[in-house]
Amino acid sequence: MTKSIIVFLTVLALSSSAYAQSGKKVFETYCWGCHHQTAVAFGPPFAEIASKRNAEEIQAMIADPAAVSKIFGYKRNAMPPFKLTPEELKAITAYILSYKPINKESK
């Protein structure tokens, strides 16, 4: 491996860790009252959300849950809209997607 590839992978790992920490902070600030990472609470767990939705859908649901719920065909929506900074939105999205179940069939 060349030195530049090692540096790139190190930076990538550190930035992923920073997003995870930042996403966890956003989760603790806004989400934990209704969502848990892997267990059902008032809202669905992040593992379930991550298995069904992509980053854009997750971000749209956070920003405008009433409109997105209609698009998805949900009969009701209990989630309030959140006005997060772009960095907070990226961080919480990455954090949610980090709970995506590993597809055992692809191994």
Provide the mean pLDDT of the chain: 82
- Angle (CA) 63-68-82 rounded to 5° is 20
pTM: 0.74
Region 52-64: mean pLDDT is 95
How many CB atoms lie under 10 A from the CB of residue 50?
21
pLDDT of residue 23: 87
Would you call 26 exposed, middle or buried from its count of C-beta atoms within 10 A (0-12, 13-18, 19+)? buried
Distance CA 82, CA 65 (A): 9
Q: Which residues contact 19 (CB under 8 A, 6 or more apart)?
A: 90, 91, 94, 95
